[in-house]
Chains A and B, each alone.
Chain A
Amino acid sequence: MAMKRGPLQLLGRSFLDLVGYLGSLGMLLSEMLGALFRGRPRVLLMFEQIVRIGYGSQTVVVVTGAFTGAVFTAQTYFKFKDFGIESTIGGIVSVALCRELSPVLAGLMVTGRVGAAMAAEIGTMKVSEQIDALRAMGVHPVDYLVMPRFIAMMVSMPLLIAESIVFGLAASWLVSVVGFGIPHAWFWGHVVEHTNLEDVAFGMIKGFFFGIIIVLISCHQGLETTDGAVGVGLGTTRAVVYASLTLLIVNYFLTLLLTQFFPMGTGT
Chain B
Amino acid sequence: MKPSPSHSPSPAPAVSASSGDSFIQLRGVEKAFGTQRVLRGLDLDIYRGETLVLIGPSGEGKSVLLKHIIGLLRPDAGSVCFDGTLLEDLDERQLRPVRRRIGYLFQNAALFDSLSVADNVAFPLREARVKNEDEIQQRVQEALEIVELGEHAAKMPINLSGGMRKRVGIARAIVDQPEILLYDEPTAGLDPIVTDVIDHMIRRMKKRFGITSVVITHDMGSVFKVADRIAMLMKGVIYFEGTPKELRSSRDPLLRNFITGRSEMTMRSGWGDRAPAHDNPIHPD
Given contacts A38-B93, A130-B113, A132-B72, contact A138 B100 (CB under 8 A): yes
Contact A129 B106 (CB under 8 A): yes
Q: What is the CB-to-nearest-CB distance from B103 to chain A, in angstroms, rounded to a whole number?
A: 8
C-alpha spacing A135/B73, complex, angstroms: 11
Contact A135 B123 (CB under 8 A): no
Contact B92 A135 (CB under 8 A): yes
Q: What is the CB-to-nearest-CB distance from B66 to chain A, in angstroms, rounded to a whole number?
A: 10
C-alpha spacing A139/B67, complex, angstroms: 16
Q: Which residues of B contact A136 (CB under 8 A)?
A: 70, 72, 99, 102, 104, 106
Q: Which residues of A contact B127 (CB under 8 A)?
A: 137-139
C-alpha spacing A133/B99, complex, angstroms: 11
0/1 interface trace, chain A 126-161, chain B, CB 8 Å (1 if under): 001110110111111000000000000000000000
Q: What size tier do the contact residues of chain A reach?
A: 10 to 19
Q: Which residues of A contact B111 (CB under 8 A)?
A: 130, 133
Contact B112 A130 (CB under 8 A): yes
0/1 interface trace, chain B 88-131, chain A, CB 8 Å (1 if under): 00001101110110101011101111000000000110010000
Q: Which residues of B contact A130 (CB under 8 A)?
A: 110-113
Contact B112 A137 (CB under 8 A): no
C-alpha spacing A133/B109, complex, angstroms: 9
Q: What is the CB-to-nearest-CB distance from B277 to chain A, in angstroms, rounded to a whole number?
A: 30
Q: What is the CB-to-nearest-CB distance from A158 to chain B, in angstroms, rounded to a whole number?
A: 27
Q: What is the CB-to-nearest-CB distance from A147 to chain B, in angstroms, rounded to a whole number?
A: 13
Q: How many cross-chain pairs have Cβ atoms below 8 Å apart between A and B?
A: 49
Which chain A residues in 82-125 approach chain B with CB under 8 Å?
124-125
Q: Which residues of A contact B67 (CB under 8 A)?
A: 132
Q: Which residues of B contact A138 (CB under 8 A)?
A: 95-97, 99-100, 127
Q: What is the CB-to-nearest-CB distance from B160 to chain A, in angstroms, rounded to a whole number?
A: 14
Q: Nearest chain-A residue to B106 (Cβ)?
A: A129
Contact B93 A129 (CB under 8 A): no
Interface SS of chain B: helix, strand, loop or mixed? loop
Given contacts A135-B92, A138-B100, contact A129 B108 (CB under 8 A): yes
Q: Which residues of A contact B106 (CB under 8 A)?
A: 129, 132-133, 136
Given contacts A128-B108, A129-B106, A132-B72, contact A137 B124 (CB under 8 A): yes
Q: What is the CB-to-nearest-CB distance from B243 to chain A, in angstroms, rounded to a whole number?
A: 29
Out of A38, A132, A139, A140, name the residue touching B110 (CB < 8 Å): A132
C-alpha spacing A125/B113, complex, angstroms: 9
Interface centre among A124, A133, A135, A139 (most CB of B within 10 A): A133
Q: Which residues of B contact A125 (CB under 8 A)?
A: 112-113
Q: What is the CB-to-nearest-CB distance from A28 to chain B, in angstroms, rounded to a whole number?
A: 13
Q: What is the CB-to-nearest-CB distance from A61 to chain B, in angstroms, rounded to a whole number?
A: 25
Q: Which residues of B contact A139 (CB under 8 A)?
A: 127
Q: What is the CB-to-nearest-CB distance from B171 to chain A, in angstroms, rounded to a whole number?
A: 13
C-alpha spacing A130/B96, complex, angstroms: 17
Q: Nearest chain-B residue to A34 (Cβ)?
A: B93
Q: Which residues of A contact B113 (CB under 8 A)?
A: 124-125, 128, 130
Interface centre among A38, A137, A139 (most CB of B within 10 A): A137
Interface centre among B67, B93, B100 (most CB of A within 10 A): B93
Q: Which residues of A contact B100 (CB under 8 A)?
A: 137-138
C-alpha spacing A200/B112, complex, angstroms: 41
C-alpha spacing A130/B124, complex, angstroms: 14
Q: Nearest chain-A residue to B97 (Cβ)?
A: A138
Contact B112 A133 (CB under 8 A): yes
Q: Which residues of A contact B72 (CB under 8 A)?
A: 132, 135-136
Q: Which residues of B contact A135 (CB under 8 A)?
A: 72, 92, 99
Q: Nearest chain-B residue to A35 (Cβ)?
A: B93
Interface centre among A38, A124, A130, A136 (most CB of B within 10 A): A136
C-alpha spacing A133/B112, complex, angstroms: 9
Q: What is the CB-to-nearest-CB distance from A93 to chain B, in angstroms, rounded to a whole number?
A: 42
Q: Nearest chain-A residue to B129 (Cβ)?
A: A40
Q: Nearest chain-A residue to B100 (Cβ)?
A: A138
Contact B104 A133 (CB under 8 A): yes
Q: What is the CB-to-nearest-CB distance from A31 to chain B, in angstroms, rounded to a whole number?
A: 9
9 additional A-B residue pairs with CB within 8 Å, beyond A137-B104, A137-B123: A125-B113, A128-B113, A130-B110, A130-B111, A133-B110, A133-B111, A135-B99, A136-B106, A139-B127
List 15 interface pairs A-B (beta carbons < 8 Å), by A numbering.
A128-B110, A129-B106, A130-B112, A133-B106, A133-B110, A135-B72, A135-B92, A136-B72, A136-B99, A136-B104, A137-B99, A137-B127, A138-B100, A138-B127, A140-B92
The 10 A-B residue pairs with the shortest CB-CB distance in the complex, in nearest-first order: A133-B110, A138-B96, A129-B110, A136-B104, A138-B99, A138-B100, A129-B106, A137-B124, A130-B110, A132-B72
